[in-house]
Amino acid sequence: MNERLVVVALFEDVDLLDVTGPSEVFSIVQREREGPSGYRVVLAAETLDAVTTSAGVRVLPDVTFASVADRRIDTLIVPGAVTIGDEREVRAVTDPTVVEWVRRLAPRTRRVASVCVGAHVLADAGLLSGKRATTHWTTSDQLAREHPDVVVDADPIFIRDGDVWTGAGLTACLDLTLALVADDLGQELALRVARQLVMYLKRPSGQSQFSVPLQRVSASRRVEELRHHITTHLSDPLTVTQLAERLHISDRQLTRIFAAELGTTPAAYIETARVEAARNQLEAGDDTLDVVARTNGFGTVDTLNRAFRRRLNTTPAEYRNRFRTR
């Protein structure tokens, strides 16, 4: 496999996590697959001088923008930067020099992705015109006001519109990058990377108001292994008795463990996991509701509908209509 060149834009006052988060995800790919990771990540700036991030941490660029201008770039990642106004108003700021370099590099890039308020840089560069895009919720009104040609949706964790990806705030950069990895190398590998990060693999466009709360992590390794078994065997019956037998304990003891360590019941946890998987399938594919129900262990569409009503206060059909990715 040819090495994919990933260029992360670097500039003064950039949000540090926007830079390090995606880089970390790509680096963990190396651990989780045999042979080379397939990615080469470089930090590019106007000069090779150290850049001071918003966190005060100084970072050294690997290359200049000019040195990669004649190369084929696989992925260009554009972080963001903000300033705080007199009334504590958060505003995205863009550097005209960086905007111009992004505009010049984009035609030589297979895909462009912005992190957090980096969407403002893409918009200034003309890369979001006529496209649906997201950004951090605090600057979404600013993006819509300054760029009426952009269809701004502040709800999704990230949005893919053709070869342009835009991500929401800060830690959503991990979700965005995991999706890039999944798009390149498959969902299974992306899930393994997510487990290394001790995080859940997010849906392509999970929404805050539709989000199922993240479950607490158990301190018990065997419970964590059981949780992994559940997420990888959702089409199985997964009865309390079967799960208890895997841990060699009684049904009652399993119920007590789930209540004490995870704050829920086994049945509720399983339904939550199935709903999360069904959301993934509804957002990313064209499977019928019957297939989605059977694949994720609901059995029937009626059961799938009831679970979505309980967990998300919507129906699977309504959810797909709103959050289906292109």
Tell me, yes or no, whether 246 and 277 share the same domain.
yes
**Residue 204 covered by a domain:** no
Q: Which residues, 6 or more positions from 316, have their beta carbon under 8 angstroms from its beta carbon?
A: 278, 282, 289, 292, 301, 304, 305, 308
**For 275-287, what is each residue's pLDDT tens digit?**
989 988 998 888 9
Q: Find the mean pLDDT for residues 164-171.
A: 86
**For 17-28, what is each residue's pLDDT tens digit?**
999 999 999 999
Across all residues in the chain, what is the average pLDDT?
Answer: 88
Number of structural domains the chain divides into: 2
Final residue of a structural domain among 138, 168, 196: 196
Predicted local distance difference test score (pLDDT) of residue 187: 81
Tell me, yes or no, whether 153 and 228 share the same domain.
no
Radius of gyration of the chain (CA): 21
Q: Choose the weakest-confidence range: 55-64, 151-160, 212-221.
A: 212-221
Tell me, yes or no, whether 224 and 90 share the same domain.
no
Q: Comparing 94 with 171, which gets the higher pLDDT? A: 94
- Statement: residue 131 has pLDDT above 60: yes
**For 83-119, what is each residue's pLDDT tens digit?**
987 767 889 999 999 999 999 999 999 999 999 999 9
Tell me, yes or no, whether 218 and 132 share the same domain.
no
Residue 110 in contact with residue 74, Cβ under 8 Å?
yes
**Residue 91 covered by a domain:** yes
Tell me, yes or no, whether 176 and 288 share the same domain.
no
Tell me, yes or no, whether 47 and 114 share the same domain.
yes
Q: Comparing 76 with 326, which gets the higher pLDDT? A: 76
Tell me, yes or no, whether 70 and 26 share the same domain.
yes
- Statement: residue 216 has pLDDT above 60: no
Tell me, yes or no, whether 86 and 177 share the same domain.
yes
Q: Comparing 213 with 126, which gets the higher pLDDT? A: 126
**Residue 117 covered by a domain:** yes
Tell me, yes or no, whether 177 and 279 share the same domain.
no
**Residue 205 covered by a domain:** no
**Residue 118 covered by a domain:** yes
Residues belonging to the active site? 116
Of residues 189, 190, 164, 192, the one with CA closest to residue 175: 190
User: What span, in angstroms and rounded, lies between the C-alpha atoms of 168 and 257?
Assistant: 35
Looking up residue 88, the CATH number of its domain turns out to be 3.40.50.880
- Structural domain including 60 reads 4-196
Tell me, yes or no, whether 108 and 225 share the same domain.
no
Whether this model's pTM surpasses 0.85: no
Tell me, yes or no, whether 182 and 219 share the same domain.
no
**Residue 206 covered by a domain:** no
Q: Comparing 221 with 274, which gets the higher pLDDT? A: 274
Pull the structure tokens for residue 308. 């979505």
